Amino acid sequence: MITLHNDYLEAHLDPKGAEIAKLIGKQDGINYMWKQDPALWGHSAPVLFPIVGALKDGKTVIEGRTYEMNQHGFSRNSTYEIVESDDTHVIFHLSDSEETKKMYPYAFDLYVTYTLAGNSLKAAFKVENNKEEHIYFQIGGHPAFTCPFLEGEAANDYYIEFSENETLSQKVIYPARGGMSHETKPFFENERRFFIRQALFNSDAIVIPHFKSESVSLKSLVNDKVLTFHMHGFDHLGLWTSKHTGGLLAIEPWVGHTDYVDFHGEFKDKESIVTLKKGESFSCDFAIEIKQ
């Protein structure tokens, strides 16, 4: 485990999955990340690569060959090497191996850099194609935060606030049918906030494309603590809390999403797929800002 710290925050980062295990406020002592309870949900902030969500029937065709891959890809269960680290930053690196090529045939280099600056932890993702004629992938984050922040509070007192007024529709996931529907339903009409209610998540995550806000904040009616989640370079936002878990809210910036229920194309045909030619790279980032 790598520990970063400054005057405001302490971050515990796990080389397995390059995952944020804890993010602790120095002033209030609160761990703002989900507690990684293996009986409920054993992760707290997995890096999603080379897919976001699930493949149709768990399979995909790449360069004419069928491959199988579990939901969200193999990054979250892979051990990253540590390129460099000090008190306020660490660079993790994951590249292809014999095991990854059983699921995904491409050579790649994925760097995840965490940096503490003031009251924020920044996560920067960079994918490089140094060997292949081209590679295709999706990428995303899945940080899950404790909600409510304090014991004895109720999640119903918490709300999500977008930085801009939004008019948005959400994509609909059908877990029973194993994928995303082409159906959408209205979510915001020139609005910016909604309260955390379990019924909103009964059919899995809220998936929002084409948002204009640079950030969303998790706030409460009963305390003045604020968690603001900044994001750049992503085209979908997932918001999720499990009805079987409770006590967490995931704010998930994605490039891509789970396959549509009627998807029959090759991997390169997936919506929001990133294409990199040899010598190219792709970057995106998010930051977690804490007001204690």
Report pLDDT digits (tens) over 237-261. Answer: 999 887 665 688 999 999 999 999 9
**Rounded mean pLDDT, 206-227:** 95
Opening angle at CA 100, ends 94 and 102, nearest 5: 170
- Tokens representing 97? 């191996």
pLDDT tens sequence across 113-155: 999 999 999 999 999 999 999 999 999 999 999 999 998 898 8
- Tokens representing 264? 């029959």
The residues, ordered by sequence, that sit 6+ positions from 34 with a Cβ below 8 Å of its Cβ are: 41, 43, 44, 144, 145, 146, 247, 248, 250
**Rounded mean pLDDT, 28-40:** 90
% the chain with pLDDT above 70: 95
Q: Is residue 227 within 8 Å of residue 217, measured between CB atoms? A: yes
The reported pTM is: 0.95
For residue 244, the model assigns a pLDDT of 60
How sure is the predictor about 85, in pLDDT bands with cuts at 50, 70 and 90? very high
**Rounded mean pLDDT, 60-66:** 95
DSSP string, 175-198: GGGTEEEEEEEEEEEEEEEEE--G
